[in-house]
Structure 1
Amino acid sequence: MDSVMNYVKEAATLFGEAGGNWRFTPGETPFSSTWIPVTTVLSYFVLIHLLQNKMELKKPFQMRGVLIAHNAFLCLASLVLFIWLFGTIVYRTFDQDATPHYLLCSEKMHNNGSLHIIYWLNNLTKYWELLDTVFLVLRKKPVLFLHEYHHGATLLLTWSQQREHSTVQWVPILLNLGVHIVMYYYYTLSAAKIHVWWKKYLTTLQIVQFVVGVGACSYCYGKYLLNGFDYSLCYGTDTGAVTGIAILVSYLLLFIRFYFQTYSAKGSKQKVN
């Protein structure tokens, strides 16, 4: 057992120290300036609707190969970042003999090069994920408000949480990466015309991630509020905490609504038939 634990510690150390002293610096790190994500998201909303109008009189594109490559790339990217982030959290746990509060709230926990790089790379993937919507429009598939809002808001959320030094952000990011491994694997199979029976459970998994994410973020902000606005008890800013909780709650409500509209409606139709 000791040899196994030593192996785990050594592996975790590789992940945890891989980032060295790298830090996300607003205004200096590429894609960190405010105008870049804000302009990107606004342009995304405008261009998607312009493209929808353009496609009204056109035939849908057949994009099987492109979709397989696109979704497989995002699945693998999510897997790599998930493993790196999980390994880094394990490293911080061993390195500091950490408590759950330390992992969620400590400034020392946040100041790790690997975490900063992972958060930044995760944010960059959100730019690439905007192509999800472009491909839907080019194939003349419906674009739900949930889809469009989620893609735009997540790009802004992952950027803002870095900027506001949110210590707890690793929780929703780790959960999101885990879900995206499964989700983009599903999309890859679907693009390859391989039937997948567990789509319903993917939505359930997404709902669970938001419940856990909201819970973790609420714990941190609650600690901060109940102890006289003392940042030393839970590192971060008001802006980061309120923004994070508000967006995650909006996701939770929208995904629950989508779940009941989609699967309850299907169940009712089947009963009628």
Structure 2
Amino acid sequence: MAILSIIQETLQPLYREIEANYTLQQTAAFTSRLWYVPYISCVLYLLAVYLGTRWMSTRSPYSFRPLLVLWNFVLTIVSMMGAYVMVPELYRYFTERGYVASVCTSAIHLQPMLSFWSLIFVLSKIFEFGDTFFIIVRKTPLRFLHWYHHVTVCIISWYSLSIKSTAAHWYCAMNLSVHSIMYSYYFLKALQVTMPTVVATAITLLQLLQFVLGFAVTLVATQQYVSGEPCFTDTWLCILGLTIYGSYFLLFCKFFCDKYLKKPTKKTKEQ
């Protein structure tokens, strides 16, 4: 509690400045004007993944442990700060106005801090491409799930904010909350702290819950939009959201079963 109080007192002047000057229009204008940034970033990311994997195929793995510790620490702090701001505001709006209103109406956009942290969130999705760097140079298995998740989150997050989607705040708040826990876990692992398997299992289950909720949020927005009710979304985001969240759930289910439910083979044990 003392740490939270110190953080709050330190950030209060900054928050007041943001609340006095920041608007949703600034986030929407930035993301819509630079609509091409996530697509170029994703193409460069995939190219780097391909070239980096080939380059490391003939080399021994690198540790980069101090850098890995710092990397996960920074992402932990950013995720915690974002969740600390977004979750209470979203919960308050949800309890006062109801679920459908929190997913579809524009009033929630009047919260400057939500719009500001939504922008930080979409920018962090490009920054998080660096996760893959450590996987490649440390020569740990690079799954399709990993880079597919990074690419699609980057695209849908950027696009949803460019059209002022209210549901985007749900996407941001849920992702930041889960990442607060996930990157804390990675930070401790990088420090070589022994973590029980149940922690990793719980994090994967939290991710699955996030995808179920994300699909449900998108489904509500889609139903409202198709029926002609007021909802800040569009056809492209509805299709993209349902497809991506559905694919996340299926891919993470397979990952969960392969990692935690199947008995390891002799080859897996040796690895």
TM range (shorter): 0.7 to 0.9
C-alpha contact (below 8 Å) 1:81/1:118 kept by paired residues: yes
Q: How does the TM-score come out when normalised to structure 1?
A: 0.84
TM-superposed deviation, 1:115: 2.1
Residues 153-192 of structure 1 mapped to structure 2, 5 A cutoff: 153-192=152-191
Work out the CA distance in 1 between the residues paired with 2:25 and 2:138. 37
1:246 to 2:243 alignment: yes
After the TM superposition, which parts of structure 1 deviate over 4 Å for at least 4 consecutive aligned residues? 24-28, 90-94
Write out per-residue CA displacement over residues 104-162 of structure 1, whole angstroms, 9 at most, x where no aligned residue.
21122234322221111001111111000011101111110000100111111110110
Distance, in Å, in 1 between the alignment partners of 2:128 and 2:40 is 16
C-alpha root-mean-square deviation of aligned residues, in Å? 2.4
Query: Does the Cα contact within 8 Å between 1:165 and 1:240 map onto a contact in 2?
Result: no
Q: Which amino acid counterpart does residue 144 of structure 1 have in structure 2?
A: R
Distance 1:60 1:268, change over 3 A: closer
Listed as ranges, the gaps of 5+ residues in structure 1 are: 1-10
Query: Pairwise mapping of residues 51-62 of structure 1 onto structure 2 (< 5 A)?
Result: 51-62=52-63
More helix by share: 2
2:49, 2:146 → 1: CA distance? 12
Return the alpha-carbon distance in structure 2 between the equivalents of residues 73 and 31 of structure 1.
Answer: 27
Q: Percent identity?
A: 24
Matches of residues 61-140 of structure 1 in structure 2 within 5 Å?
61-90=62-91, 92=93, 97-140=96-139
Distance 1:171 1:208, change over 3 A: same
Counterpart in the other structure of 2:257: 260
State the Cα distance separating 1:19 from its structure 2 match: 6.2
Output the CA distance in 2 between the equivalents of 1:160 and 1:104: 16
Distance in 1 of aligned mates of 2:123 and 2:32: 8
Aligned residue in 2 for 1:6: none
Q: Given that residues 221 and 233 in structure 2 are in contact (C-alpha distance below 8 angstroms), is that contact kept between their aligned partners in structure 1?
A: no
Give 2:269's aligned residue: none
Please tell me whether the aligned partners of residues 78 and 177 of structure 1 are also in contact (alpha carbons under 8 angstroms).
yes
> What is the distance in 1 between the residues matched to 2:214 and 2:31?
27
Read off the aligned partner of 2:73 and give its amino acid letter. A
The answer to whether the 8 Å contact 1:19/1:114 transfers is no
